[in-house]
Structure formats: C-alpha cells, structure tokens
Chain A
Amino acid sequence: MAETMATRQAYGKVLLELGETYGNLVVLDGDLSKSTMTYDFSKEYPKRFFNMGIAEQNLYGTSAGLALSGKIVCASTFAIFATGRAFEIIRNSIGYTGANVKICATHAGITVGEDGASHQTFEDIALMRTIPGMVVVNPSDGNSTMELMRQVCAYKGPCYVRLGRAKVPMIYENTEDIKLGKGNTVREGDDLAVIATGIMVNEAIIAHNILKEEGVSLRVIDMHTIKPLDEELVLKAAKETKGIITAEEHSIIGGLGSCVSQVLSEKYPVRMGFVGQQDTFGESGKPEELKEKYHMQAQDIVGEALRLLK
C-alpha cells in the first residue's frame, strides 16, 4: 500500500515551510483551521494568522486588502463557501484588482463524504476559471500539492487551489517535473488518453492498470493546472491516441472536461468521454461509497474507454 495523505494535510505542512520562506506570507481562515490545516501555521506564526470567523465574504475581502498592502495571502475555508458564498468578492476584490491572494479551499467534491450535499461542491472550478486572470490548480497528491503551493506562492497574482478532505495515495516521489501551468504524463499509453485532475488521477492510474490486462494502453495525464490549460499536452494526446477521456471530481459542466473539449473542438476534434459529477447534487455517505454511486471511480473511466474503442 502506497503512502497516503490528504492534499489538505500537505497544504498545512507546506505552509510552515512557506511561512519561513516568505516573511510577508499571511494566512487567514474562517473558523475551520483544524480542518483546512492552517492551524499549525497559526501556532507557528501567530502574528501572521487571522481567524476571520464564520464570515467568508469578509475573509476574502480582507485578504484582498492585505494583498494590496504587499502581503502574500493564503486564505482558506471549505471550497463551497469560498467559491460559492464569496464568489463576487473574489471576482471583484481579488480577480479584478489582481490581488496576490491564494484561495486555498479544502473539502472540494464528493469525497467530503458524510457532511452531504450542502458541503460537496462540484461548481468551484467552473466558477473560478471564468474569472479573468485567475490561475486554477487542483493537485492530485500530497507531494505535488506541496510543490505546486511553492510555485503558487512564487507567482504574483490570484490563484485558486482546490484541495480535498480524504486521504489519497502518493503519486509522485519526485516532484522535479511538476510545473505550474504544465500537465504531467504519469502513465504512457497510445490507444486512449485520460486527462484527469485531483483525486481522479489515482483512479485513472488504476484504470490504466485494469485496461492493460485487456490489452488497451491508456495514457494518464495529471492536469493539475486547469487554468491556464496546457493545450500543447492536450493536443499531443489527441493526435497520438484514438480518443480523450476527462476525469474530475467536479461537475462535467464547466470543469476540466469543458476546458479540454473547448480546446479540442476548435483545434483538433476527437471522440471524447466525460467522467465526473452528472448534473446532480451529492448526499451523505463514505467517500468510496459516494465515488461508486456517482460514477467517479476507475471503473467509470474503464467504461468510457471501452465505449470510445467500440
């Protein structure tokens, strides 16, 4: 069994390192610091941590003011509240101003689990990627989360970083090749390619192994940066395989699947399949049960692959 770690845990860990690297890094939270994992930073750097209470609009408005005063700001709460409740504050006070705020939102997607539909967001990538200039990142494992956070903090401008609650297997031992704005091919294959993001990268790797048994070679791309999208890598995969599947723990409306199909429909149309949340709310349950019921598992990627090969 590979080492596992939730991406939110990796976020909490790398914040301590980044607090040391950047004397002007300030972290804000909305009464969820033990869940978003900003708690350790708050203890290590109490003068650079502000708990804004259960008030997400002001959490992001205050972040903008700090950033416009020269701070690098990482502001965390659950993804549903960050991108849903505070959307227009993020749009106007952070996006429009270009404030150097990193919206590091945890508990995205179905793997929130037992808290149920009110807390499971499938809309956040769609919302964030429509804001001009917003960088959108959805790491697949702990190590890449830490590396991407280093690059996100080195980059000047607004970023949305989507993090998860549930533990996921480590995919990367070495993070040298991880570059913000570039996808990573984590499994080679020439029959089909799956472009996955977040926790679905691991599912795609499992799908790769299942299909290999059946003589099908599935390329697996970790598209950790959704905006700006690595179009070159998408087009290469489309040209070198017989079809593209996208896989995301997000609505198939407006997320990675939409981004990829927009590029391909304009520049190199190919057959596509979309794995993700099918225009429906979630419900309470264990993460694995929910992934099965809502069709966000390796088997669902395999099913799409076999359909495209028919």
Chain B
Amino acid sequence: MDLLELERQGRNIRRGILLATHEAGSGHPGGSLSCTDILTVLYFHEMNINPEYPDMQGRDRFVMSKGHGAPALYCVLAERGYYDKSEVLTLRKLNSKFQGHPDHKLVPGVETSTGSLGQGFSASIGMALADRIDGNSARTYVLLGDGELQEGLVWESAMAAGHYGLDNLTVIIDFNGLQIDGKNEDVMTVTPIDKKFEAFGFNVISIDGHNLKEIIDGLNESKNVLGKPTCIIAKTVKGKGVSFMENQAGWHGKAPNDRELEKALSEVGGEW
C-alpha cells in the first residue's frame, strides 16, 4: 500500500467537500471531513469495486448511513472515477443528481438512499444477508455517525447483525463526539460504544480514524473474524483538516463563505 498516495487522495477529497459545500451555500462539511480518511481507505485500498460497472456482481458495498456525509461520499466516488469531479459542484442545486442526502437512483456507486438516520445500517443487514444467501464472499461496510447511535433502529439492526453472526459486515462508527446541538454527552450520552456493541455480539476494534495505517489494519482484522460482525470505533475530529472547523459543532451543517473557503483550501491543499 502507498500511504502517501492515500494521503494525496484524501486531500483531494477534502478540497472537493469544501468546494462543493461552498458552491451549494449549505451542507455538512464537519461530518464529511471527519470521515474522509475512512472513505479514502475503503474506496482506494479496501473494497472490491469497479467504477466502470457500479453494479458489478459480487462487489463489496459501502453504505453511508450517516447520509449527511453525502459530500464526502460524492467526492470519494468522483475521485475514484465513477463520474467527473466537476459534476459534484452541482451539489444541492435544482436538477442535480447530487442531492443533499444520497439518492441511489441518481448517483452511480451509491448503494441505497440515506439521510434518515439508522436506515442505512438496517439496509446493510439485508445486503449482508443477500450475499450470504448467494454464497458471495463480498463484504458490506456501513458508516454510522456517533449521534446516529441515538436512533432506536441502530440497536434493532445491531441485534440482528449479532443474531445472524454477520461476519461479512463491518460497521464503522465515525466517533467525532459532536452532533447538531453540541457534544453527544450533553445531548444524549452514547458511550460506552464498545461495550454496547460487544454486548450485541460484535467484535469491536478501536482506532484513530485519521491514521491511515490504523484504518487499514482495522479493516483487515474485521475480515478475519469469523462468526460475528465487526464494529470499528474510529475516533475522529469533526471538521478534520481545517483548523477553524475542527471540533466545532457549529460546522455540522454550515457551508464556508468565500473568505473561509480560501483559508480552508490553503490548509487542506489537494486538487479538484
């Protein structure tokens, strides 16, 4: 693996997220930047996918259950070659395929429509069961926000994943500690996350969600655990890569203005 190359792709994706949300004048940069490194490793290192054939039989699947992370998903798919990078700048505009939250009927590579929290996780259970029925060795990866863990459906899904021993499913928690109204612990405590998932029958791995090597190792471990699903708790920084966005709940759902964009782009670098 080439960590430098992954870092370069990550910078490009961060640049795309900032440009697209700025152009849209709204959107979710904070939670997109916190999961960028995870998505970069999944799409450029881990998953068996083919941008030429988004519906390729036997492919690995990624589900963005935290659907507001749409800018990160759109940008990683563009960087991976599913469509032209310039298209993503139509984010959130009328007639664009890049809806505020992902629409799988419009965007190649998007496995299901998400945006209402918890539902992507639930759908990923069905995808993993389908691969099991068909005897596919493919894996399903699903990314949840930490605030998303407050949804009851998440725990219905976790119970089912544990019950059916879905070892072809990797759940990743983007644990940045913040949600719209502030810190998780002030709004509604979600911790301990590890003990909860363990209790539901998961193999749990904790990593630094911005350390590419740790992400790679965590994903590797998840593939080698038999008989149970894996939950990777990725400690992340909301707004990662942009100094004034980092760890600020206010950047959950706000786009940078012209001046902020300029400063942010100078910090993340990259090309789009």
Which of A50, A66, A70, A93 meets B164, CB within 8 Å?
A: A50
Contact B129 A97 (CB under 8 A): no
- A67 contacts which chain B residues (CB < 8 A)? 126
CB neighbors of A among B100-118 (8 A): 103-105, 111-113, 115-116, 118
Q: How far is the CA of A97 from the CA of B102 in the complex (A)?
A: 10
Contact A62 B122 (CB under 8 A): yes
CB neighbors of B among A14-29 (8 A): 26
Contact B152 A57 (CB under 8 A): yes
Contact B127 A61 (CB under 8 A): no
Contact A65 B125, CB 8 Å, known A26-B133, A88-B116:
yes
Nearest CB of chain B from residue A87's CB, rounded to whole Å? 11
A92 within 8 A of B: yes
Contact B160 A55 (CB under 8 A): yes
Contact B164 A97 (CB under 8 A): no
Contact A61 B119, CB 8 Å, known A52-B160, A55-B159:
yes
A112 within 8 A of B: no
CB neighbors of A among B77-121 (8 A): 103-105, 111-113, 115-116, 118-119, 121
B131 within 8 A of A: yes
- Interface flags for A16-58 (1: CB within 8 Å of B; 0: not) read 0000000000100000000000000000000110101101011
- Interface flags for A64-90 (1: CB within 8 Å of B; 0: not) read 111111110100000000000000110
Q: How far is the CA of A66 from the CA of B133 in the complex (A)?
A: 10
Nearest CB of chain B from residue A283's CB, rounded to whole Å? 29
Contact A71 B112, CB 8 Å, known A58-B125, A64-B122, A64-B123:
no
Q: How far is the CA of A70 from the CA of B111 in the complex (A)?
A: 12
CB-nearest residue of chain A to B136: A69
- B118 contacts which chain A residues (CB < 8 A)? 57, 61
Q: What is the total of A-B residue contacts with beta carbons within 8 Å?
A: 103
CB neighbors of A among B30-44 (8 A): none
Contact B160 A65 (CB under 8 A): no
A268 within 8 A of B: no
A63 within 8 A of B: yes
- A57 contacts which chain B residues (CB < 8 A)? 118, 122, 152-153, 156
Contact A62 B113, CB 8 Å, known A57-B122, A67-B126, A92-B119:
no
A281 within 8 A of B: no
Contact A93 B123 (CB under 8 A): yes
Contact B130 A70 (CB under 8 A): yes
- A88 contacts which chain B residues (CB < 8 A)? 116
Contact B113 A93 (CB under 8 A): yes
- A62 contacts which chain B residues (CB < 8 A)? 122-123, 125-126, 129, 157, 160
Which of B126, B134, B164 meets A64, CB within 8 Å?
A: B126
B195 within 8 A of A: no
Which of A55, A65, A93, A97 meets B130, CB within 8 Å?
A: A65
CB-nearest residue of chain B to A63: B126
- A70 contacts which chain B residues (CB < 8 A)? 130
B124 within 8 A of A: yes
- B164 contacts which chain A residues (CB < 8 A)? 50
CB-nearest residue of chain A to B103: A96
Q: How far is the CA of A306 from the CA of B128 in the complex (A)?
A: 58
B163 within 8 A of A: yes
A98 within 8 A of B: yes
Contact A65 B112 (CB under 8 A): yes
Q: How far is the CA of A70 from the CA of B131 in the complex (A)?
A: 10
Residues of A within 8 A of B (CB): 26, 47-48, 50, 52-53, 55, 57-58, 60-71, 73, 88-89, 92-93, 96-98
What would 12 more interface pairs be, CB under 8 Å, given A26-B129, A55-B159, A97-B105? A26-B130, A47-B133, A58-B125, A58-B157, A61-B126, A65-B127, A65-B128, A69-B126, A73-B126, A89-B122, A93-B116, A93-B123
3 closest A-B pairs by beta carbon, nearest first, are A65-B126, A61-B122, A69-B130
